[in-house]
Amino acid sequence: MKITADTTVCIGAGMCALTVPEVFDQSEDEGTVVLLREVPEEGQEEAVRRAVSLCPSGAISVS
């Protein structure tokens, strides 16, 4: 699994950082998504998919 994030559509709702803080953070000034890792560790994949489904703006996706 590889995660991509698009900060141009991110609206800083924080659902990703709330759901998987090990993988997603928010930038201090902008509030937009920051990827802490592009490839989740084993055991994080389901939570990453949940974060993708909770994102209100479609800013994160997995392939």
Partner 1 sequence: MSDLTFPIARQQPFDPPEEATALRQQGAMHRLTFADGHLGWLVTGYSAARSILADPRFSNRPERLHPVVPARMQLQRDVPPGFFLRMDAPEHTRYRKLLMGQFTVRRMKALEPRIEEITHSCLDALQAAGPPADLVESFALPIPSLVICELLGVPYEDRVEFQEATKILVNLETKADDALAAFSRIGAYLSELIGRKRSEPADDLLSGLVEDLNHEELTGVAFLLLLAGHETTANMLGLGTYALLTNPGQLAAMRDDPSVVENGVEELLRYLTIIHLGPVRSALEDVEVEGHLVRAGESIALHLPTVNRDPSRFQDADRLDLQRPAGGHLTFGHGIHQCLGQQLARAEMRIAYPALLRRLPGLRLAVSPEEVPMRSDMSIYGVHRLPVTW
Note the residues at the interface with partner 1 (CB under 8 A).
11-14, 17-19, 21, 25-32, 50, 53-54, 56-58
For residue 11, what are its two tokens?
Answer: 């609206």
Closest CB to partner 1 among 32 and 44? 32
CB of 42 to partner 1, least distance (A): 22
CB 62 within 8 A of CB 48: yes
Closest CB to partner 1 among 5 and 50? 50
Across 1-63, the runs of DSSP E, i.e. the strands, are: 3-5, 24-26, 33-35, 60-62
